[in-house]
Amino acid sequence: MHDFDVIILGAGPAGLAAGIYAARGGLSALIIENKAPGGQASLTAKVENYPGVQEASGFDLAFAMLNQAKSFGVKVKTGTVSNLVLKGKDKRVVLANGKEFTCGSIIIATGAASRPLGVEGELQLVGKGVSYCATCDGMFFKDKTVAVVGGGNTAVEDALYLEKLASKVCLIHRRNELRADKILADRIKSSSVEILWDSVVVGLVADDKLTEIKVKNVKNDSLSAVSVDGLFVAVGQIPNTSFLENADEKPRLTDAGYIVADEEMRTSIDGVFAAGDVREKSLRQIITACADGAIAANSAIKHLQNKQ
């Protein structure tokens, strides 16, 4: 007899959707989250591509998912996973506070985190001008000058969000074409955001706080200094899989550290599933995370039925 039928690691959209589908499918489910529920979605200022929801804050959408999961009986606990037994029929999740839970199936939905730029002094300046979350920290830069680095959806959304707060926003992208969706790319091109194409940040200048960034044009190697109060880094993600180091067996990972799972969200370990941004996939969106979570829960249900 296990403590839970399924334990879900991560309370972002993938984990919450997995919880909803698992509970409605008759499983007892525990979600373990090491930060606040909602994952990266809850840091998104405006979601307008989740069907049926014209516009919502990411926080509100994630909070609604959390309440929905709880309403079906899903248990949600805060904790950091320190050890995992993934092999075999009896799986075990050990938390850093010493608590342990057994289960018949595990869904890994731990998502991904912001990738640092890798420029000297960057991490020491976090909270002193460098940020990875425009919706969290944008207010600190009201009527100030900021730069955003990156050319993906996050960078463009962040730049557009900051445009409403800061006196000047500049977007720095290493190529001459944005990776962001066309609708966002069109929006930024008609905004007041200045775009520095073919450019990378190579240095940070600070006294106590960030004052200036050194920008290199990769086409002609010219260097320029841009005075800024804030630098928002939005250069992609790294999957949250470091907790797997202490597992008795690791599911197969890609070179970049994403978990390899098939269409049924099955990993290389029987009874262990992966869902959402932590999984190797082509489109990382709230809707695809939710879809992964639903499929993973369905696969967990089938897995447990076959083991009976």
Q: Please list the active-site residues.
A: 133, 136-137
Residue 143: both structure tokens together: 């009527």
CA pseudo-torsion sign 29, 31, 37, 39: negative
Rounded to whole angstroms, the Cα distance separating 107 from 70 reads 17
Size of the site for ligand NAP (CB under 6 A): 21
Q: Shortest approach of ligand NAP to residue 55 CB, angstroms?
A: 12
SS3 68: helix
137 counts as binding ligand NAP under rule CB under 6 A: no
Q: Shortest approach of ligand NAP to residue 285 CB, angstroms?
A: 5
Among 8, 66, 155, 169, binds ligand NAP (CB under 6 A): 155
Please say which residue, 86 or 290, places its beta carbon nearer to ligand NAP: 290
Residue 191: both structure tokens together: 């905004």
Among 33, 137, 157, 163, binds ligand NAP (CB under 6 A): 157
Among 87, 285, 298, 302, binds ligand NAP (CB under 6 A): 285
User: Site map for ligand NAP, 53-92, x if CB under 6 A?
Assistant: ----------------------------------------
Q: Which residue is nearest to ligand NAP (CB)?
A: 152
SS3 69: helix
Please say which residue, 51 or 98, places its beta carbon nearer to ligand NAP: 51
CB-based contacts of 212: which residues, under 8 Å, 6+ apart? 204, 205, 225, 226, 227, 228
12 counts as binding ligand NAP under rule CB under 6 A: no
Q: Which amino acid is at 136?
A: C
Q: Tell which residue, 117, 136, 182, has the closest CA to residue 156.
A: 182
Residue 47: both structure tokens together: 């979601």
Give 120: exposed, middle or buried? Use CB within 10 Å, 0-12, 13-18, 19+: exposed
Contact between residue 45 and residue 134 where contact means Cβ atoms under 8 Å apart: yes
Rounded to whole angstroms, the Cα distance separating 301 from 86 reads 17
H helix or E strand, kind and range, residue 82: strand 81-85
Which single residue is written with the structure tokens 């809850």? 42
User: Site map for ligand NAP, 183-222, x if CB under 6 A?
Assistant: -----------------x----------------------
229 counts as binding ligand NAP under rule CB under 6 A: no
Q: Shortest approach of ligand NAP to residue 134 CB, angstroms?
A: 11
User: Site map for ligand NAP, 238-277, x if CB under 6 A?
Assistant: ----------------------------------------
SS3 149: strand
Please say which residue, 58 or 271, places its beta carbon nearer to ligand NAP: 58
Q: Shortest approach of ligand NAP to residue 123 CB, angstroms?
A: 14
Which single residue is written with the structure tokens 């930060």? 35
Rounded to whole angstroms, the Cα distance separating 13 from 129 reads 30
Please say which residue, 96 or 123, places its beta carbon nearer to ligand NAP: 123
Site residues for ligand NAP per CB under 6 A: 49, 117, 149-155, 157, 174-175, 179, 200, 234-237, 283-285
